[in-house]
């Protein structure tokens, strides 16, 4: 613009001087009075009212050791003592006896609830084979002898059960089981199954094992017989009810809840016939006396789909004054394949 003005003979106006004003320094931050007051306050004192002296065994949601590792080793657990070379063993609570008992209880509890792989031994297989032959023979005899009684059999009263030497012929030509209905054969079979299974289990796991617990019962029943188990089939809700129903054969331990047997392993098979006949007579006597609780509420349809070896197809039962009506019977079948090892 100045050059253009000079060329035109005009004088260029002087440029205005731009003076930069100083930038004011930022104001100092005002102290946060509230923050300073909070900083001056001491941290609240942590108070733990837990009485740790009363905590004997601490249970954690997340275990210190993997459960699989415990399962492989727990049977060998024991409390240390001086014979193992320890110079000193101190107990924070209780004494050595208390600590040792806690360890024993832990091992017992794990044994009780563990579902082990047990082998189905030769004793069990032979016993089941013997049972199948016997019960099929009894069924055949009942069908032939009870259906066509001869003159000498008419008017014969009930023989004394435990004085009978031969259950196939009580002396009059009639078998002791002549009046068995479907429910009697089923309960007879269940008595034997419980007897054989628990004895075979004990032979495999040893006497130090507490036995078959309600939570492991179906597992072991399936292992030995190759089929499932239905409590409802026998009109019961749980294993305790089954033990009560078969009180002449088994019971439950008051401390562990595991099954206990009342007969030696080599009990004659005829004994189970006598037990079943005794229970049948007692049940009918109670029903005739007006005891409605004595009636069985068995539901064989609940056993469908559990595997081979029960009552056959199309079984139907009706409750009458003398119990459930007869349906076809089939002896138990032992599983063809079993778990290896213990």
Res 228: pLDDT: 92
CA-closest candidate to residue 270, choices 154, 174, 175, 159? 175
State which H helix or E strand residue 264 sits in: none
Q: Where are the alpha helices (DSSP H) in the chain?
A: 2-7, 33-40, 67-73, 96-113, 122-145, 182-205, 217-225, 239-245, 270-288
The mean pLDDT of the chain is 77
- Whole-angstrom Cα distance, residue 251 to residue 269? 19
Q: Would you call 210 exposed, middle or buried from its count of C-beta atoms within 10 A (0-12, 13-18, 19+)?
A: middle
152: helix, strand or coil: helix
Between 146 and 160, whose confidence is greater? Answer: 160
Q: Would you call 256 exposed, middle or buried from its count of C-beta atoms within 10 A (0-12, 13-18, 19+)?
A: middle
Considering the chain, what percentage of its residues have pLDDT values greater than 90? Answer: 42
Res 115: pLDDT: 87
Between 176 and 23, whose confidence is greater? Answer: 176
Res 266: pLDDT: 94
- Rounded to an integer, the average pLDDT of 18-34 is 56
Res 17: pLDDT: 55
Band (24; pLDDT cuts 50, 70, 90) = low
Which residues, in sequence order, are bridge partners of residue 260?
Answer: 251
Band (60; pLDDT cuts 50, 70, 90) = confident
Question: In this model, does residue 220 exceed pLDDT 80?
Answer: yes
CA-closest candidate to residue 210, choices 65, 88, 220? 220
- Whole-angstrom Cα distance, residue 42 to residue 173? 100
Question: In this model, does residue 8 exceed pLDDT 60?
Answer: no
Phi then psi for residue 157, to 5 deg, are -80, 175
Window from 2-6, 121-125, 230-234 with minimum mean pLDDT: 2-6
- Rounded to an integer, the average pLDDT of 133-145 is 94
CA dihedral in degrees (120, 121, 123, 129; nearest 10)? Answer: 50
Tens digit of each residue's pLDDT (9 = 90 or more) over 248-300 = 999 988 888 899 988 999 999 999 999 999 999 999 999 999 999 999 988 87
- Rounded to an integer, the average pLDDT of 35-52 is 69
Question: In this model, does residue 141 exceed pLDDT 80?
Answer: yes
CA-closest candidate to residue 310, choices 324, 327, 330? 330
Between 142 and 323, whose confidence is greater? Answer: 142
Res 294: pLDDT: 92
Res 325: pLDDT: 35
């Amino acid at each position: 613009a100045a050059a253009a003005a000079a060329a035109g003979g005009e004088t260029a106006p002087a440029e205005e001087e731009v003076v930069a004003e100083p930038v004011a320094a930022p104001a100092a931050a005002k102290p946060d009075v509230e923050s300073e007051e909070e900083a001056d306050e001491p941290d609240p004192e942590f108070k733990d009212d837990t009485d740790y002296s009363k905590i004997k065994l601490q249970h954690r949601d997340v275990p210190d050791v993997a459960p699989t590792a415990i399962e492989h080793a727990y049977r060998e657990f024991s409390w240390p003592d001086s014979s193992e070379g320890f110079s000193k063993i101190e107990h924070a609570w209780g004494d050595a006896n208390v600590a040792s008992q806690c360890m024993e209880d832990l091992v017992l509890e794990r044994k009780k609830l563990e579902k082990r792989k047990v082998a189905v031994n030769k004793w069990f297989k032979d016993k089941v084979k013997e049972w199948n032959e016997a019960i099929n023979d009894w069924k055949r005899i009942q069908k032939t002898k009870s259906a066509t009684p001869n003159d000498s059999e008419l008017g014969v009263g009930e023989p004394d059960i435990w004085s009978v030497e031969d259950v196939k012929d009580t002396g009059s030509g009639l078998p002791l089981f002549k009046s068995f209905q479907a429910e009697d054969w089923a309960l007879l079979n269940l008595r034997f199954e419980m007897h054989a299974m628990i004895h075979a289990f004990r032979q495999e796991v040893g006497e130090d094992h507490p036995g078959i617990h309600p939570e492991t019962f179906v597992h072991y029943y399936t292992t030995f017989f190759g089929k499932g188990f239905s409590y409802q089939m026998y009109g019961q809700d749980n294993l305790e009810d089954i033990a009560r129903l078969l009180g002449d054969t088994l019971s439950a331990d008051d401390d562990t809840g595991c099954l206990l047997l009342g007969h030696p392993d080599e009990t004659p098979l005829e004994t189970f016939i006598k037990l079943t006949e005794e229970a049948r007579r007692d049940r009918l006597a109670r029903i005739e006396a007006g005891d409605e609780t004595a009636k069985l509420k068995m539901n064989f349809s609940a056993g469908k789909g559990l595997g081979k070896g029960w009552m056959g197809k199309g079984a139907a039962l009706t409750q009458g004054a003398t119990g459930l009506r007869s349906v076809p019977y089939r002896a138990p079948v032992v599983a063809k394949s079993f778990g290896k090892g213990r």
